[in-house]
Structure 1
Amino acid sequence: MPWLQIKMDTNPAHAEVLEDVLLAAGANAVTLEDGEDQPLFEPIRGTTPLWQQTRITGLFDAEQDSKAMVEALQNGWAEVFPDQAFPSPRIEILEDKDWEREWMENFHPIQVGERLWICPSWKEAPNPEATNLVLDPGLAFGTGTHPTTFMCLQWLDKHDVSGQTVIDYGCGSGILGVAALLLGAEKAYGVDNDPQALIATRENTDRNSLPAESFDVFYPGKIGDVQADLMLANILAGPLIDLAPTLAALIRDQGHLVLSGILAHQADDVMAAYAPWFNFAPVAQKEEWVCLSAIKVQS
């Protein structure tokens, strides 16, 4: 069935009130998005920033009376801001679609480097002779197209990981660990605090015809006394800085470290956190994101 959308542009100070009045008026869902071209990357810890021009959308059943809904919104607004004008609402009809199918049709095979391709499970691999990572991440996890993931995959494509033990820290769908195994790694360990990520990693391991025992998954702090040849961590700069001693302890001497999820202006701070244990290679950059790689020095 079709849906009715009510959209309004506001500022961060008013967004929470508008969200509340939309829900009180019967909205099935409320979304907040960038009303202009103002990307937000890693926020300051303890904050939940919004765009200076925030677009807020309420999704309603199409059979509801739009005039009555707008009146309810205006009344709810007036209770909180009696002296301020109500933001002008825009009412749109949203035709119902199979959104998962729509997304699947727009996820195509991606060539990462000379050896590696990412191939959605529902499409044929363009090069059957390549190392084809078959991925079915669902809607909750990445597909390898984001610059941070893509740069990690490029690093793997360029390096020999044969026989190595690999940790994918913040594994998500398990894409980095699975790629390492397909490229010859002997054992992978995934770490994530999201139980759905651990499930997705196990499923993608099986989907790529890898033995279940080749990729073990753990919650943070539960991995035990592992010494990895390669640590892959695509998270965010803040957590990576906090995790520096933890990650360093999990890597053997002369082992490799690959970090991503880092904005260019954050690179120096992240490298400084790992400097006591690692020597860094030149920084790789794609758009505003960087990927850091290093070798652990002798203890």
Structure 2
Amino acid sequence: MPWIQLRVTTTEEKAEQVSDMLMGWGAQAVSFLDAHDTPIYEPMPGEVIYWTNTVVVGLFDAEHPMDKVVNQLKQVSFFKGEPNFKLEQLEDKDWEREWMDNFHPIKFGQRLWVCPSWRDIPDPTAVNVMLDPGLAFGTGTHPTTALCMQWLDATVKPEQTVVDFGCGSGILGIAALKLGAKRVIGVDIDPQAIEASTANAKRNNVEGQIELYLPKDQPKDFQADVVVANILAGPLAELKDIISAYVKPGGLLALSGILESQAQSVIDAYSNEFSFDPIAVQDEWVRLSARKQA
């Protein structure tokens, strides 16, 4: 089916209102983009953040009467004059097929692979995590996930316990179980992440070894041999006490979702309790790894 997208530049205060208007005018889907490539950090639970200059993108059937939509847009009073918008035709492709064709098995470290279900497994003797892209973050393609997967491949030992803080798709916790861990606790603020992790755990036959929680339900007294938190620098610093408490004395910690410019501030937040390894860097993102002092 051919599509047309309407891109409307607005402010963070009006982004949600513009989204509601586009949906009311017949948009099949609405997304938000940053107009000026400004960094935005992962929100805390219950918090919604938009960019100061936000582009709201509405996706319409190409046969939709877009002249009427544009006329309605021009009548919106808070734009204070001609709204900043752009209509664009999208190429008529089988977007699902295109997406599937471009997602391939990926290797991490010496023995760990992530494989989509529609591809052949490159090495049946390796440690293979079966994972299809979905609603929750984490397929291995982003540098932060890749850095954590490489670390897990080199770190996890049989019978260890692991916490995956900010579990997203469940990729890190599932990889840890496939590498020999006996138990994983996964925590995420997004209920869709819990659903995705549950589905992916079943796909990999490890559902009996992973426990998944929203923050309000997470265990309070559990300590693990290995803790990995792939979120972002701001939340990593703010949630330092909670994340640190999951690591047993002498246990190992990996933190990612951090830009090189933010690394030292995160190290400073944890340095009273942890001794850090050299920083691992990939495409301006870093992974910090450390051991908790006994």
Q: Which amino acid aligns with 1:166?
A: V
Q: Show structure 1 runs of 5+ residues with no match.
A: none
- Distance in 2, Cα, partners of 1:43 & 1:116: 28
- Distance in 1, Cα, partners of 2:165 & 2:226: 11
Normalised by the size of structure 2, how large is the TM-score?
0.85
Tell me what 1:131 maps to. Answer: 127
Tell me what 2:51 maps to. Answer: 50
Verify: 1:215 aligned to 2:210, yes or no: yes
SS in 2 for 1:156: helix
- Distance in 1, Cα, partners of 2:121 & 2:141: 17
Verify: 1:71 aligned to 2:67, yes or no: no
Equivalent pair of 2:42/2:232 in contact (CA under 8 Å) = no
The CA deviation at 1:31 is 3.2
Tell me what 2:183 maps to. Answer: 187
The CA deviation at 1:72 is 2.4
Equivalent pair of 1:25/1:73 in contact (CA under 8 Å) = no
List aligned pairs for 1:7-156, cutoff 5 A. 7-8=7-8, 22=22, 25-34=25-34, 38=37, 40-42=39-41, 48-50=49-51, 55-76=55-76, 79-81=77-79, 84-87=81-84, 89-94=85-90, 98-156=94-152
- From 219, 222, 226, the counterpart of 1:230: 226
Moved more, 122-131 or 65-74: 65-74
Equivalent pair of 1:43/1:49 in contact (CA under 8 Å) = no
SS in 2 for 1:7: strand
SS in 1 for 2:130: strand
Moved more, 4-13 or 263-272: 4-13
Deviations 1:142-177 (A, max 9, x none): 211111110011111222422211111111111111
Moved more, 123-132 or 99-108: 99-108
* C-alpha RMSD of matched pairs (Å): 2.8
SS in 1 for 2:75: helix
Moved more, 184-193 or 66-75: 66-75
- Distance in 1, Cα, partners of 2:2 & 2:189: 37
Q: Which amino acid aligns with 2:211?
A: D
Tell me what 1:178 maps to. Answer: 174
Equivalent pair of 1:188/1:216 in contact (CA under 8 Å) = yes
Q: Which amino acid aligns with 1:71?
A: N
- Distance in 1, Cα, partners of 2:64 & 2:188: 42
The CA deviation at 1:86 is 4.1
Gap change, CA 1:191 and 1:81, over 3 Å in 2: closer
- Distance in 2, Cα, partners of 1:134 & 1:294: 29
Provide the aligned length of Structure 1 versus Structure 2: 291
Gap change, CA 1:278 and 1:287, over 3 Å in 2: same
- Distance in 2, Cα, partners of 1:203 & 1:72: 42
SS in 2 for 1:167: strand
Equivalent pair of 2:250/2:291 in contact (CA under 8 Å) = yes
The CA deviation at 1:252 is 1.4
Tell me what 2:2 maps to. Answer: 2
The CA deviation at 1:230 is 0.4
In terms of Rg, which structure is larger? 1
SS in 1 for 2:39: coil
- Distance in 2, Cα, partners of 1:94 & 1:149: 30
Deviations 1:84-135 (A, max 9, x none): 4443x54344466554443222211001121111111221111111111111
Gap change, CA 1:207 and 1:55, over 3 Å in 2: same
- Distance in 1, Cα, partners of 2:241 & 2:57: 43
Deviations 1:189-219 (A, max 9, x none): 1112222222222222222223x33111222
The CA deviation at 1:69 is 2.8
- Distance in 1, Cα, partners of 2:94 & 2:56: 23
Q: Percent identity among equivalent residues? A: 48
